[in-house]
Each structure stands twice: as structure tokens, then as C-alpha cells.
Amino acid sequence: MSNLTSKKQNRILYGILTVLLASAAVLSVLTFNAGKKEAENLPETETKQIGRATEADTPETIPSVPKEKENAEDAGLFGSKKDPAKETEAETKEEEAAKTDAPAEDKTVSAASVLPTFCSPVENGVILQGHSVTVPVFSATMNDYRTHAGIDIACEPASPVLAAADGKIGSFWHDPLMGYTLSVIHSGDAVTIYQGLAEELPEGITAGAEVKAGQVIACSGTTALIECEEEEHLHFMLHIGGKDVDPMEYIALPTMASVYEY
């Protein structure tokens, strides 16, 4: 009797176990099918391992190099793409081209920039009064002390006045204080000025006329009112670059001892 009961119990246990196993198998099949359907609904991506990332994590195209990096490469920060030898050769060609295109340096000195050789504007003239623009000198005519631009060269009345250098006649005018005045333009931006002249000029002495050193260009006179009490003389001035200079620094003339008190 006990054996029959034991066998009956075993059959019941086997039956329950079989049902459980069958249930587990069915559940596994259902779970597998559900996962398969879910996978089919997802986008198709390959999941091959590439290092620690997958191809799904890798973009389809490689992004372009940022401009900042390209500029850095050109600057040599990441290694220049340019050939240094070719760059040096190109720079050398550019420098040579620049030298070729540049105008050649003119090493010749223009004749107009050179001062001429000056001579005395009066034959056998001597200096009565020198050039003094910083220290006042006595004026016999005005009876006072004043500066004296130019030099006074002694000469007889109506003596020939000579061009002190090659040049051309500038202008001829009457100065209220210094009388009839003539200017001659020379090279080197120099101008000679002759004052206290006679009113009449030699034939051909007109503005623009070419003259040679030592050529007669006027006659001395007594038309300088503020120097009429001095001995007969020519008042002569020299300007260089528009500035009054001492003619004695450019012309060698003897000096007459002054008869005036200073």
C-alpha cells in the first residue's frame, strides 16, 4: 500500500516538474521572439568593435581640418607643408626683381647744385665796410649804429660793375634806400646783388640774359641814399639758398682800413 502511494506521489512530482520545464521553455521562446522583433525595429548599424568604441559611434565621414590648425601648420606649429628651399629661392628672386625694377642711384652731382667760382665785382676793389649782421657798425650817413648786410667795395664813380660768376640776369629795380639794384642768378642756388648803381644798364643786360664771370653788367653810381656819405663804392651782397652770407667767405678781396670810428 505504501509503495503504491509513493509511486503516485512520484508521478505527481514528475508531472509538476514537466509542466515547469515546459513553461520555462515557452517563456524562453517568447522572450527570444520579442527581443528579435525589437531588434528588427531598430536602425541597422554594425557593432564591430574598434578599439574601445564601435563603428556605430564613428561618424560616416572624417571632419575637415579646422582653419586654425591649417594656419598653425603654415606657421610651422604642426610642421609646415611648404618646402623651405623653394621659399628661400622665391624670396631671393623677388629681392632681385625689386633691385632690377628700382631706379639706379644717380651718383652724378648736378651742375646746378655746385657753387660757381666767384670773382670781384669791381676791378681792383678794396673793402670799405665788411659784412656784419650780428654786431652793429657805425653809419656815417645815418650817424648811428646798425647792422650791415653785404660788403662795400671802393670804386671810382661810373666804374664798370662785373658779374661775380657765370649766371643769368634776374631783375633790375630801384630800392628807395639802396638805389638802383641788379640781381644775377647762379648755380648752387646762389644769387649776387649789386646796389647803388647808375640808372642806365649796358646794352643786352635784360632779365634772363646769360652772362659770364667778369662781364660788365652795370656801372657804379651814387643812388644809395643811406650810404651816400661814405666813399664811392658798390654795395654787394651774396645769397645762397635764400640766406644772406658773407661774400668775403667766397671771394678773396683786400680790406681797406676803416676811417670811421666805431
pLDDT exceeds 90 at position 192: yes
* Cell 643786352 sits on residue: 204
Q: How far apart are CA 210 and CA 170, in angstroms?
A: 10
pLDDT tier for residue 259 given thresholds of 50, 70 and 90: very low
Phi, psi of 120 (to 5 degrees): -65, 135
Q: Tell me: the pLDDT tens digits for 73-94?
A: 444 444 445 555 566 666 666 7
Alpha carbon distance 164, 185 (integer Å) = 10
Say what the pLDDT of residue 85 is. 59
pLDDT in the model for residue 144: 87
Tell me what pLDDT residue 59 has.
Answer: 47
Q: Kindly state the helix (H) or strand (E) to which residue 132 belongs, with its residue range.
A: strand 132-139
Contact 196, 227 (CB under 8 A): yes
pLDDT at 52 over 50: no
Using the predicted structure, report yes or no on whether residue 107 has a pLDDT greater than 50. Answer: no
* pLDDT of 117 strictly over 90: yes
Higher-scoring residue by pLDDT: 79, 2? 2
Nearest residue to 193 (alpha-carbon basis) of 255, 118, 260, 114: 118
250: its cell numbers: 667766397
Mean pLDDT over each residue of the chain, to the nearest integer:
77
* Grid cell digits, residue 214: 667778369
Model confidence over 131-144: pLDDT tens digits? 999 999 888 888 88
| Assigned C-alpha cell, 107 | 651718383
Over residues 203-215, mean pLDDT: 97
- What is the percentage of the chain residues whose pLDDT exceeds 90? 45
Band (35; pLDDT cuts 50, 70, 90):
low
Q: Which of 165, 41, 188 is nearest to 113 (CA)?
A: 188
User: Is residue 115 scored above 90 in pLDDT?
Assistant: yes
Distance, in Å, from the CA atom of 75 to the CA atom of 201, rounded to the nearest integer, reads 79
Q: How confident is the model at residue 3 (pLDDT cuts 50, 70, 90)?
A: low
